[in-house]
């Protein structure tokens, strides 16, 4: 992974965290926390999509994958927090 791809991955993850914060209507961890959750969720989403045999090769696909991963990660964090 080149440096440019890594920076794009971080941007997509942060954007996905922000979107997942909007979807959960403020039940996240605030903007900085949701961005970190989005970056971690992007890793999780990429892993899950690869297990299913799906790949994201453009920006929209990567964003959808990252949002799904961050929503899954937020759900897991809320489950653990209880």
Range of the domain at 14: 3-77
Q: With respect to residue 25, please indicate whether it lies within any of the assigned structural domains.
A: yes
Q: With respect to residue 8, please indicate whether it lies within any of the assigned structural domains.
A: yes
Q: With respect to residue 59, please indicate whether it lies within any of the assigned structural domains.
A: yes
Rounded to an integer, the average pLDDT of 7-34 is: 81
Q: With respect to residue 82, please indicate whether it lies within any of the assigned structural domains.
A: no
Q: Are 72 and 41 in contact (CB under 8 A)?
A: yes
Say how far apart CA 29 and CA 75 lie, in whole Å.
12
Q: With respect to residue 44, please indicate whether it lies within any of the assigned structural domains.
A: yes
Structure confidence by residue, pLDDT tens digits, 35-82: 888 888 888 888 888 888 887 778 888 888 889 998 888 888 888 877
Please state the domain count of the chain: 1
pLDDT at residue 25 in the model: 77
pTM for the structure as a whole: 0.83
More confident residue, 22 or 1: 22
């Amino acid at each position: 992974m080149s440096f440019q791809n890594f920076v794009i991955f971080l941007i997509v993850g942060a954007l996905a965290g922000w979107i997942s914060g909007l979807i959960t209507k403020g039940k996240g961890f605030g903007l900085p926390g949701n961005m970190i959750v989005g970056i971690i969720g992007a890793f999780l989403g990429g892993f899950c999509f690869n297990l299913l045999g799906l790949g994201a090769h453009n920006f929209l696909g990567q964003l959808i994958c990252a949002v799904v991963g961050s929503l899954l990660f937020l759900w897991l964090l809320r489950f653990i927090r209880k």
